[in-house]
């Protein structure tokens, strides 16, 4: 899976060197460690083929809940057929009782590392990568698997030429460790047929947050049941972050505040904070993906990908002459109060509450709200003053 991560454990001669003793694989170096498991780079002893192995942590190996979760992850990945999801090659257990599964070894880095290195990506490039992520998720959804933790660090960007010929870069979705397996009906199986993937023997307890607070959907934040549209929301956050450089709620620091923002706070348009021009259509698509109510989002990963494909087509045909979704002052040099006014009277994406008129504008922290009557009064007063000055000048010149 990952070939360039630094090790957080000892080398082949230490602890990481013998975690796979008694299996067909030989551990080479540690790649990472999480709350449930650890990941090592390994080599098949007979074939000399490099792979990546994920094992349940030694201290948790004999807890059936963790063994069950790892097996569900492996089977979920194996059930998904897509070049945009990391492939599973084997599933087993060490002689000491540690369950493990084997994945393809990838050359490259995560999308989070790419963003950290380069900053916001050009719109066309970001759309291409996000469409690849959506293709992988769509394949998972067809198999009845909901990822529930789509984020920058769970998307791997293969080095040019490593997964496709030429300079093509392939994005692959990683880490289905907290994936939800839907029942056979929701997975699209025929009535009475077994589901594409067996569900966990130890399901997640009700009322527990599953996923990462920063990228959780509103329904995850409220510990409610989720479906494929939770992943659509997470990809909306991914798209926003790639073109802006940060997410819509980057100003919120604590976990509880972030969860509250997912549920209650309307995200600003990406074009409001992006340093590059953002097409108005992309603004609308991202906000649709980030709708608080699942029924108001794109109803599938395929639908979101199709809209992004349409936007990409317009970009290619327009050669950069597309209409950017910029706030008015970006072109006219107007200040923040004028911006707030135009947002108040603009389209429904401006943050105006239903039935609230201009007075109901949701204004972000640190930005002064604009009172409609005050604005109108100031406009009339300035007009009257200008007219009086003009009359005096004209009278002095003998014109009036």
Question: What are the beta bridge partners of residue 157?
Answer: 109, 171
The two three-digit tokens of residue 173, written as one number: 């979705």
DSSP-derived secondary structure for 274-330: -SS--BHHHHHHHHHHT-SSGGGS-SSHHHHHHHHHHHHHHHHHHTT-SPB---THH
Using CA atoms, how far apart are residues 159 and 53, in angstroms rounded to an integer? Answer: 20
What tokens appear for 389 in the block?
């000055």
In terms of C-beta distances under 8 Å and separation of at least 24 residues, what long-range contacts does 112-120 make, across chains too? 112/151, 112/152, 112/153, 112/155, 114/157, 115/152, 115/241, 115/242, 115/245, 119/245, 120/242, 120/243, 120/244, 120/245, 120/274, 120/275, 120/276
Residues 6+ apart with CB under 8 A from 257: none
Q: Does 288 count as an annotated binding residue?
A: no
Of the residues 63, 90, 128, 149, only one is catalytic, namely: 149
Structure tokens at 247: 């997410």
**Is 149 one of the catalytic residues?**
yes
Question: Which residue has 């699942």 as its token pair?
Answer: 294
- 221 three-state secondary structure: helix
Binding residues for ATP: 54
Q: Would you name the residues annotated as active-site residues?
A: 149
């Amino acid at each position: 899976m990952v070939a360039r991560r630094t090790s957080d454990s000892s080398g082949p001669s230490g602890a990481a060197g013998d975690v796979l003793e008694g299996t067909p694989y030989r551990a080479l170096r540690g790649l990472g460690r999480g709350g449930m498991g650890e990941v090592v780079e390994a080599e098949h002893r007979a074939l000399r083929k490099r792979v990546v192995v994920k094992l349940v942590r030694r201290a948790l190996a004999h807890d059936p809940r963790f063994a069950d979760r790892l097996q569900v992850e492996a089977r979920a990945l194996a059930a998904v057929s897509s070049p945009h999801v990391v492939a599973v090659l084997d599933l087993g257990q060490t002689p000491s009782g540690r369950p493990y599964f084997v994945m393809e070894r990838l050359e490259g880095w995560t999308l989070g590392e790419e963003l950290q290195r380069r900053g916001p990506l050009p719109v066309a490039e970001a759309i291409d990568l996000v469409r690849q992520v959506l293709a992988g998720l769509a394949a998972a959804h067809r198999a009845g698997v909901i990822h529930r933790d789509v984020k920058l660090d769970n998307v791997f960007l293969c080095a040019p030429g490593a997964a496709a010929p030429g300079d093509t870069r392939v994005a692959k979705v990683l880490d289905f460790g907290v994936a939800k397996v839907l029942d056979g009906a929701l997975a699209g199986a025929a009535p009475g047929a077994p589901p594409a993937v067996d569900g966990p023997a130890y399901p997640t307890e009700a009322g527990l947050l599953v996923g990462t607070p920063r990228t959780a959907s509103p329904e995850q934040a409220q510990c409610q049941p989720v479906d494929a549209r939770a992943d659509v929301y997470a990809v909306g956050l991914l798209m926003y972050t790639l073109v802006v450089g940060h997410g819509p709620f980057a100003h919120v620091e604590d976990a509880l505040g972030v969860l509250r923002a997912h549920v209650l706070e309307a995200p600003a348009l990406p074009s409001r904070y992006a340093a590059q021009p953002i097409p108005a259509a992309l603004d609308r698509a991202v906000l649709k993906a980030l709708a608080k109510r699942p029924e108001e989002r794109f109803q599938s990963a395929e639908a979101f990908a199709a809209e992004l494909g349409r936007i990409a087509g317009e970009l290619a045909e327009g050669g950069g002459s597309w209409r950017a979704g910029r706030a008015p002052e970006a072109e006219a040099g107007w200040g923040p109060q004028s911006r707030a006014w135009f947002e108040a009277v603009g389209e429904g994406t401006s943050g105006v509450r239903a039935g609230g008129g201009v007075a109901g504008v949701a204004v972000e922290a640190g930005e002064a709200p604009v009172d409609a009557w005050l604005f109108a009064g100031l406009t009339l007063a300035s007009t009257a003053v200008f007219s009086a000055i003009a009359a005096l000048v004209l009278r002095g010149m003998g014109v009036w």
